């Protein structure tokens, strides 16, 4: 588990932003209204509160910065030295010291001015003391502006550092630049380190993770190291030296035996001997990389001697750990990251060496004795020389033999596919498992679609019998049609029917001729209203003549037509039937009208009354009045919300600018301000 998470450090504002943050908070969170008429104790308390509140905010902010930044003496030595290499321990401590001094100064300023405010004798004097106190506090913050800016840069850089756990299982890769360290970590982990064919592509520590025997291992790729004095090494090289010095890890020293990195084997051997003091008490493996360009057996004798010397030095680390000197196979390994030959064996050897070393260290510690006292390992001993083989029932053996025989006999579709040409050549037969009355039917070809119809829709066991019935019925109908064909020629009709038929034919031909004439001159024929029609085609007299010729009484139809026309134009009041007898009847007020008169009056009134809203009109698409009432209610309910919002219609999407006064004017009180 990573113990240090530098990404959680709070952002450090610069001097100007720091002052703005604190003063705006003081203005928002403390009272701002004061009058001359207040008691002097109230005025003193008003300004003392502002000074104390400002000092408390400065104190909290500065304390957060001091507490969240790590103390180099309290953290792991690896991180302590790494921060010293990257940021210079003296500058780092000096900046935090200035922050602490500023915090103490602000506290003293607030204490002094609160003491002076206790003796303020007027509103003006108290206000001047408050302004002076806040001004001195802001001046102190502005003076430490460079330290705040430096700490903010340090915080940003620390947030980008890799999360390295100094106490977990770690594999450390080191060597000259461009010898294949980043390529190796890309192969065995999911890290994506940039790989380029020039030196110092890797400028900082990179971390990846790999698994071995269900355990997670941390793999660290270090920048390249050059063989030069300690004082001449730059920050990039010192990151590697720091990791080698402080991390308990398995060391993989990469050796480029092909010389393509730009450094000879002699130079790489000199680097190995200069930093071998950092390898003490750590599993060390020398990895000869780039064997695809130059195998280990093909190098010169001088270079081979140097490699053997490095191997002997690595064997000393094995002996120092309590191992045997004969285990030299896991000390010198060869591989090629290009062809990936030997990559996994190098990873497994490093993980195994590291795991063994960690187990040995734990076994030598004092805690192991407390653990061993709780365990009891029971080892059974053989009581005699008699052999006792396992007893398996005969039935179980037979069942197993039978299953093995069935497995051998049965051929799967995969076996058939491999035997008949493989995938793409062999086509599996889906019909061979059909359950049919006759096995020969399995291979019959049955069309699924014929003439655009599905054949299965027309398959019927009684289809032949039904076809015969249909043919028989069709024959009977054809015979009836042949016998029943006739044409109305008038020979079998009575004289009256013949006259009616002649009239119908004459009327039909006349209508056809009129239609043809209208169609021919339809474009040039003017539209003439009915009342100006000279032919008088649409009159009540003509309708009466036609109905009389048909043997019908036209009086009711003519009367209805006249009553409708009068009701539309508005009729005069009918003269009472008693008026014809004389003037005596005029003096009677309570005479009731006749039945016919009342009926006509009620009809006219019923026609003049408008239709109720729940009455169903044909063509509305509603079943009955109940359904129409329900539809009207739903329509009113749908527009209710729109009417309340004063919308003009469904398309009115105007959003007015609402600025309620209680939210946008005056001073905010203490409490939540989320609503703004």
Query: At CA 581, angle to CA 577 and CA 584, rounded to 5?
Result: 105
pTM of the model: 0.52
**pLDDT of res. 53:** 95
Q: Is 471 helix (H, G, I), strand (E, B) or coil?
A: helix
pLDDT at 598 (0 to 100) = 53
The secondary structure of residue 532, as a DSSP letter, is G
Which candidate, 138, 114, 135, places its Cα nearest to that of 126?
114
The residues of the chain that CATH labels 1.20.120.1190 are: 15-160
Find all residues with CB under 8 Å of 69, minimum gap 6, and list them.
9, 96, 151, 154, 155
Q: Where in the chain are all domains bearing CATH 3.40.50.300?
A: 170-365
Please give the backbone phi and psi of residue 433, each rounded to the nearest 5 degrees, phi first: -105, 10
Q: Which CATH number fits domain 170-365: 3.40.640.10, 3.40.50.300, 3.20.20.140, 3.50.50.60?
A: 3.40.50.300
| Phi, psi for 133 (deg, rounded to 5) | -65, -50
Cβ neighbours of residue 285 closer than 8 Å, sequence gap 6 or more: 250, 251, 252, 253, 314, 330, 331, 332, 333, 346, 349, 350, 353
pLDDT at residue 234, as a whole number: 80
Instruction: Please state which CATH number belongs to domain 15-160.
Output: 1.20.120.1190
Average pLDDT along the chain, 676 residues, taken 10 residues at a time? 73 92 91 88 93 95 92 84 85 93 95 93 92 95 94 89 87 90 89 81 86 91 84 81 86 88 87 86 88 85 87 73 54 88 90 88 78 80 86 92 80 85 85 86 78 76 84 88 61 83 90 87 73 66 82 84 64 49 45 51 53 81 88 90 84 76 68 56
The count of other CB atoms within 10 Å of the CB of residue 291 is 20
Determine the pLDDT at residue 108: 95
Complete DSSP assignment for 374-412: T---------SS--------HHHHHHHHHHHHHHHH---
Residue 359, pLDDT score: 84
d(CA 242, CA 161) in angstroms, rounded, equals 14
Angle at alpha carbon of residue 178, lines to 177 and 179, rounded to 5°:
95
Q: How far apart are CA 117 and CA 121, in angstroms?
A: 9
Residues in contact with 104: Cβ distance below 8 Å, sequence separation at least 6, in sequence order:
none
Given a contact cutoff of 8 angstroms between Cβ atoms, the answer to whether 52 and 114 are in contact is yes
Provide, for the chain, the percentages of residues in helix, strand and coil under a 3-state DSSP scheme, each rounded to the nearest 5. 55, 5, 40
DSSP state of 289: E
Look at residue 669 in the predicted model and tell me its pLDDT.
Answer: 67
Residues 6 or more apart whose CB falls under 8 angstroms from that of 375 comprise none
Q: How far is CA 358 from CA 250, 282, 352, 427, in A?
A: 10, 10, 10, 58
Helices H, strands E: what count in the chain? 21, 8
Please report the pLDDT score of residue 551 as a whole number: 79
The whole-angstrom separation of Cα 195 and Cα 154 is 27
pLDDT at position 557 is: 84
In 3D space, the residue among 344, 288, 276 whose CA is nearest the CA of residue 313 turns out to be: 276
Q: Which segments of 108-223 are extended strands (E)?
A: 170-175, 206-212, 215-221
DSSP state of 445: -
pLDDT of residue 606: 47
CA dihedral 614, 618, 620, 621 (to 10 degrees): 110
Q: What's the rounded Cα separation, in Å, for the pair 390 and 550? A: 119
């Amino acid at each position: 588990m990573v113990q240090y998470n530098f990404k959680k450090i709070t952002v450090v504002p610069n001097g100007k932003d720091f002052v703005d943050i604190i003063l705006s908070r003081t203005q928002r969170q403390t009272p701002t209204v004061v009058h001359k008429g207040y008691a002097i104790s109230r005025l003193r308390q008003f300004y003392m509160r502002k000074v104390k509140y400002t000092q408390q905010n400065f104190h909290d902010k500065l304390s957060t910065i001091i507490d969240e930044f790590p103390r180099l003496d309290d953290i792991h030595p690896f991180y302590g030295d790494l921060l010293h290499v990257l940021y210079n321990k003296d500058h780092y401590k000096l900046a935090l010291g200035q922050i602490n001094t500023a915090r103490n100064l602000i506290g003293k300023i607030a204490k002094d001015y609160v003491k002076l405010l206790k003796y303020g004798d007027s509103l003006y004097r108290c206000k001047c003391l408050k302004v002076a106190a806040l001004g001195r506090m802001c001046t102190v913050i502005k003076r430490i502006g460079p330290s705040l800016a430096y700490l903010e840069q340090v915080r940003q850089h620390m947030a980008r550092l890799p999360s390295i756990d100094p106490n977990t299982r770690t594999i450390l890769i080191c060597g000259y630049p461009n010898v294949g360290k980043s390529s190796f970590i890309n192969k065995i982990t999911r890290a994506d380190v940039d790989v380029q064919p020039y030196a110092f592509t890797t400028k900082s520590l990179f971390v990846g993770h790999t698994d071995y025997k269900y355990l997670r291992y941390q793999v660290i790729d270090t920048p390249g190291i050059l063989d030069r004095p300690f004082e001449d090494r730059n920050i990039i090289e010192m990151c590697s030296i720091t990791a080698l010095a402080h991390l308990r890890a398995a060391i993989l020293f990469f050796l480029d035996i092909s010389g393509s990195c730009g450094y000879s084997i002699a130079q790489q051997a000199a680097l190995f001997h200069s930093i071998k003091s950092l390898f003490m008490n750590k599993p060390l493996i020398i990895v000869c990389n780039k064997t695809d360009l130059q195998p280990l057996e093909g190098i010169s004798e001088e270079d081979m001697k140097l490699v053997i010397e490095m191997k002997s030095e690595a064997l000393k680390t094995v002996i120092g750990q309590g191992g045997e000197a004969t285990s030299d196979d896991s000390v010198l390994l060869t591989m090629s990251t290009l062809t990936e030959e030997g990559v996994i064996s190098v990873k497994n050897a490093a993980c195994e060496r590291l795991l063994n070393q960690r187990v040995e260290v734990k076994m030598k510690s004092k805690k192991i004795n407390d653990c061993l006292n709780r365990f009891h390992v029971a080892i059974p001993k053989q009581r005699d020389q008699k052999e006792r083989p396992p007893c398996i029932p005969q039935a179980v053996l037979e069942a197993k033999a039978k299953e093995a025989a069935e497995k051998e006999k049965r051929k799967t579709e995969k076996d058939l596919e491999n035997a008949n040409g493989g995938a793409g050549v062999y086509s599996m037969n889906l019909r061979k498992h059909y359950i049919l009355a006759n096995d020969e039917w399995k291979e019959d070809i049955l069309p699924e679609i014929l003439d655009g119809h599905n054949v299965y829709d027309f398959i019927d066991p009684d289809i032949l019998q039904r076809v015969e019935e249909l043919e028989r019925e069709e024959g009977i109908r054809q015979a009836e049609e042949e016998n029943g064909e006739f044409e109305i020629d008038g020979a079998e009709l009575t004289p009256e029917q013949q006259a009616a038929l002649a009239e119908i034919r004459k009327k039909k031909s006349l209508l056809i001729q009129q239609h043809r004439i209208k169609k021919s001159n339809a474009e040039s024929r003017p539209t003439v209203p009915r009342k100006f029609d000279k032919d008088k085609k649409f009159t009540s007299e003509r309708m009466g003549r036609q109905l009389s010729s048909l043997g019908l009484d036209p009086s009711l139809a003519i009367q209805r037509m006249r009553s409708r026309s009068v009701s539309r134009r508005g009729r005069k009041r009918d003269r009472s039937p008693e008026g014809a007898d004389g003037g005596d009847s005029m003096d009677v007020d309570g005479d009731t009208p006749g039945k016919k008169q009342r009926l006509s009056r009620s009809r006219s009134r019923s026609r003049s009354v408008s239709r109720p809203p729940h009455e169903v009109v044909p063509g509305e698409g509603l079943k009955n009045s109940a359904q129409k009432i329900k539809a009207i209610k739903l329509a009113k309910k749908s527009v209710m919300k729109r009417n309340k919002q004063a919308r003009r219609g469904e398309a009115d999407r105007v959003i007015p600018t609402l600025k309620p006064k209680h939210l946008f004017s005056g001073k905010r009180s203490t409490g939540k301000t989320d609503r703004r």
